[in-house]
Amino acid sequence: MDSGTLITTILLGIAPISELRGAIPFAYLRGYPLWQAVLLGAGTNLLVSPLVFLFLNFFHGHLYGTWRLYSRIFDATVARARRKLGANVDKFGMWGILIFVGIPLPVTGAWTGTLGAWVLGLDRRHSMLAVSGGVMMSATIVSLVLLLGSGIGSIFVKIV
């Protein structure tokens, strides 16, 4: 396996838009066996939640209270998020985060799940576990789509 594919897969797995939805198919279509593509794509995507929590805690700790505009925007954002999502968070809790992250659609990955949990002030350890479970669920769905897709393609080739 070439280093360019390896590095690109790692970057796709960590990037906010592509995450594992881009990393796994990229590696698989570049010749990696599916199990390696999943380990690499999902493995790097699992790093997102702890990194985001560290990043947010560090910058928030430095900016909140010292930069007035940031504090006002943050407080307004949190109040709005809690007002809109509070009932759903109370109802679904960590299962809601797991399912939200686990559905491999745009804007439903580890980045958004972790950011949402952080903004809503949810327990960090439980949030990271829920996000990690969602990453594994998403990796399973993406893998099944790849397997079924390649199976359908091979059937079509045999018919033609």
CB–CB of 151/50 below 8 Å?
Answer: no
Identify which has the larger pLDDT, 130 or 160: 130
Listed in sequence order, the residues at least 6 apart from 147 whose beta carbon sits closer than 8 Å to its beta carbon are 34
Percent of the chain whose predicted confidence (pLDDT) is above 90: 61
| 159, pLDDT greater than 70 | no
Distance CA 86, CA 19 (A): 27
Tokens 């007002």: give the residue. 83
pLDDT tens digit sequence for 91-140: 898 999 999 999 999 889 999 999 889 888 899 999 999 999 999 999 99
Kindly state the tokens that stand for 113: 């799940």
Tokens 């949810």: give the residue. 122
Percent of the chain whose predicted confidence (pLDDT) is above 70: 92
Q: Phi, psi (5° rounding) for residue 147?
A: -65, -45
pTM (2 d.p.): 0.84
Kindly state the tokens that stand for 117: 């949990």
Amino acid at 78: V
Q: What is the mean pLDDT of the chain?
A: 89
Listed in sequence order, the residues at least 6 apart from 20 whose beta carbon sits closer than 8 Å to its beta carbon are 13, 41, 42, 44, 45, 104, 109, 135, 138, 139, 142
- The predicted pLDDT at position 85 comes to 78
As a whole number of Å, the end-to-end CA separation of the chain is 32
Kindly state the tokens that stand for 124: 């960090």
| 160, pLDDT greater than 50 | no
| 41, pLDDT greater than 70 | yes
What is the band of 151 on the pLDDT scale with cuts at 50, 70, 90? low
